Amino acid sequence: MAGSILGNRVLRKEDPKFLTSGGKYIEDLNDEPLFAGALHVTYVRSIVAHAKITKIDLSECKSSPGVVAVFSAQDLGLEEEPSAYNRRAKRAHLAIGKVRWVGELIAAVITERPDQGEDAIERAVIEYETLEPLTDVEQAMNSKTLIYEECGTNIVMSTVEMGMPDNTGDNLFKDCEVVVKGRFMNQRVAPCPLEARGSAATWIDGRLHQWISTQHAQGVRNDVAKANKIDAEKIRIITPDVGGGFGAKISAYSEELLLGNIAKHVGKPVRWRETRSESMISLGHGRAQLQYITIGGTKAGRVTAYQLNAIQDSGGWVEVGTVLASAMTRPMSQGVYDIDKMECRTTSVVTNTTPIVAYRGAGRPEATAAIERAIDLFAAEIGKDPAEVRRINLIPKFMETHKTKIGHTYDVGDYGAALEKAMTVAKYSEARAEQAERRKRGDKVQLGIGVSVYVEITGGVDPMQEHAKINILPNGRAVVYTG
C-alpha cells in the first residue's frame, strides 16, 4: 500500500549517528552546562538478604577524602510509603529499620568524584540482626517469617483475592482419557543492558531538571514528582540515548528518585551512575515464575482441558512484577489453542531477592512457555508428533473477534496457516527424518527439534498507554508533547 508502513520495509533513521559518531548517553553529559560542578552520589547497600538494622554509623564516611555529605533516611526526611500494588507493604527509598534483599539502599554518600564515593562507602558501619532469608518462592509462601509484617503473609496478590475463579483441581479432568502434569520454573534473569542505569538532577528556579536513562519519561516524571512532593509540571525529565532497557528501565528506582532531594540538600547538581555489579543486584530482574500445569484430553490428540497454577516471585518489593502473572500470564494462558475447559490461578509472593519488574514480554512469554511445554508433554504421553498435536488443537481461522475460554478477546488469526508456513520453511519433515536416522545409528551428535506457536498482547495494559499533550500558545502556535 503506497504511503503506508503496512507491507513495506521501514528503514531506521537513527542509525547513522550510532554507526559513526555514536550516541549521547547519561555519562556523556560532561559538556552540559547545567551540571557544572556537579557532585557524585554513591549508595551504601545491604550486604544481607533479610535483617533488622540495629546500627547505622556513617561517621567514618564523613572523614573520607572528597566526601561532601552523607545521608540516611532520617537525614533526608524519608518515610515509609505503601506500594501501588499492595497498600499494606511499605518501605522507604533508603531502608528504615529493615533490609529485604542484597543491594537494598541504606545510605547515600556525596563526593567530589565518583571514585571517592566507592572508597567512602566501604567505611560505613552497618550492624544487622539477621532474619531467616526466604529466597525460594514456595518456601516464602508457606513460611511464618514475614518479609512485610503489615501484610500478615508473604502472598501479596492472587487472582482469587481479585475475584477471579479459583482452579478446581483434578475435577476439571474427570472426563479425560489422558492426563499429564508438570512443574516448570521459568527462571529468574537479570536484564544486563549494555548501558547500566544513570541519572543527574539539578534545581533551577524551583524547577527540577532530571536526566534519566529510562524507557518511560512521562511515567517516571510522575514518580519523581511524588518523591519530591511537587507538581509534575515543575519537573522536566530528559531522556538521552538509552543503551538498552528491555522493560527493566520502564520503572523509576530509588537511586533515581532520591537525586532531587539530595540535590536540594547539597545545593548543587548531583549525578549517579550504576556499576555493573550494582546493576546485577539492583536493576529489577525478570521472569522468576513457578508453574504447575495439568493438561488432559483424548488418546487421539485432542486437548480438552488445561489448568495453570502460576506462582510469581515478586522479589523483595511489591513492584510491577507482582501483577505480571495476573495481568499478562493469565489472559494469555490459553495460547493459540481451542480448549473447552480452561483454568488459571496466579499468586504473587515476596522473597528476599532482587525485585521483579517488566522484562521482555513481561508475563506473556511465561504463559507461552507453560502451555507449549504442556502440549509437548501431552504429545509425548500419547506418542504423537508435537506438531501434529498442535495442528489438531489450534483455534480455527477466524476473521472476527474470538473470545477464549479464559475470557480474553483475540482480534483475527490464522494460526494453522502460520504453522504450516513455518514448517515448510524449516523443512520439518526432513529434519524429523534426519533426527530418526541419527538416533537409529546411535550418533554421538543428536538432533533436537522444538516447535512453538504463540500469540501475545501488544500495546501493553492501560498504565502503559502513550501520552500526548498539546498547548495552544497566545500567538496561535502549538507545542506538542508526545511519547
Is the pLDDT at 438 greater than 80? The verdict is yes
Confidence (pLDDT) at 466: 66
Residues of the chain with pLDDT > 90, as a percent, come to 91
Q: How far apart are CA 372 and CA 398, in angstroms?
A: 21
The answer to whether residue 443 sits within a structural domain is no
Overall pTM surpassing 0.75 (yes/no): yes
pLDDT at 188 over 80: yes
Number of domains in the chain: 2
Task: Determine which of 29-33, 46-50, 339-343, 466-470 has the lowest per-residue pLDDT on average.
Answer: 466-470
Residue 104 lies in a domain: yes
Q: What is the pLDDT of residues 131-182, one digit of tens each?
A: 999 999 999 999 999 999 999 999 999 999 999 999 999 999 999 999 999 9
User: Is residue 309 very low, low, confident or very high in pLDDT (cuts 50, 70, 90)?
Assistant: very high
Q: Tell me whether residue 233 is in a domain.
A: yes
User: For residue 455, what are the contacts with CB-CB under 8 A and spacing of at least 6?
Assistant: 332, 335, 336, 410, 413, 415
Q: Tell whether 123 and 209 lie within a shared domain.
A: yes
Domain that residue 146 falls in: 139-190+284-411
- The answer to whether residues 91 and 200 belong to one domain is yes
The answer on 145 and 102 residing in a single domain is: no
Residue 25 lies in a domain: no
- Residue 439, domain member (yes or no): no
End residue of a domain, out of 394, 411, 428: 411
Dist. CA 279–CA 299, nearest whole Å: 49
Q: Which triple of cell numbers denotes residue 469?
A: 499533550
pLDDT of 463 > 60? The answer is no
**pLDDT for the residue numbered 459:** 66
Q: Do 113 and 216 lie in a common domain?
A: yes
Q: What is the pLDDT of residue 60?
A: 98
Whether residue 17 lies inside any domain: the answer is: no
Residues 252 and 365 in one domain: no
CATH of the domain at 383: 3.30.365.10
Same structural domain for residues 172 and 219?
no
Using the predicted structure, report yes or no on whether residue 34 has a pLDDT greater than 80. Answer: yes
Confidence of residue 400 (pLDDT cuts 50, 70, 90): very high
User: Are 238 and 118 found together in one domain?
Assistant: yes
Looking at residue 336, its amino acid is V
Write down the pLDDT at residue 2.
64
Q: How far apart are the first and last CA of the chain?
A: 27
Question: Phi/psi of residue 224, each to 5°?
Answer: -65, -40
- Same structural domain, 200 and 275: yes
Does any domain span residue 109? yes
H helical segments located in 137-197:
137-142
Same domain flag for 293 and 384: yes
User: Pairing state of beta strands 341-350 and 402-403?
Assistant: unpaired
Q: What is the pLDDT of residue 413?
A: 96
So what's the pLDDT on residue 12?
87
Alpha-carbon distance of 263 to 81, in angstroms, equals: 21
Which of 382, 411, 440 is the last residue in one of the domains? 411
pLDDT for position 4: 79
pLDDT on residue 481 = 80
Is 60 exceeded by the pLDDT of residue 1?
A: no
SS3 label, residue 412 = coil
181 and 298 part of one domain: yes
Q: Are residues 209 and 241 in the same domain?
A: yes
Give the model confidence (pLDDT) of 215-258 as tens digits: 999 899 999 999 999 999 999 999 999 999 999 999 999 999 99
Please give the Cα distance from 310 to 50 (Å, whole number). Answer: 25
The predicted model gives 2-27 an average pLDDT of: 87
- Residue 8's pLDDT is 86
- Domain assignment of residue 455, yes or no: no
Which range, of 304-308, 371-375, 462-466, averages the lowest pLDDT?
462-466
H or E element that contains 469: strand 468-472
* The last residue of a domain, from among 282, 316, 334: 282
Do residues 318 and 312 make contact, with C-beta atoms less than 8 angstroms apart?
Answer: no
Instruction: Quote the pLDDT of residue 461.
Output: 54
For the chain, what is the mean pLDDT? 95
- Rounded Cα–Cα distance for residues 340 and 469 (Å): 45
206 and 344 belong to one structural domain: no
CATH for 54: 3.90.1170.50
Handedness of CA 346, 348, 354, 360 (dihedral sign): positive
| Residues constituting the chain | 483
pLDDT for position 299: 99
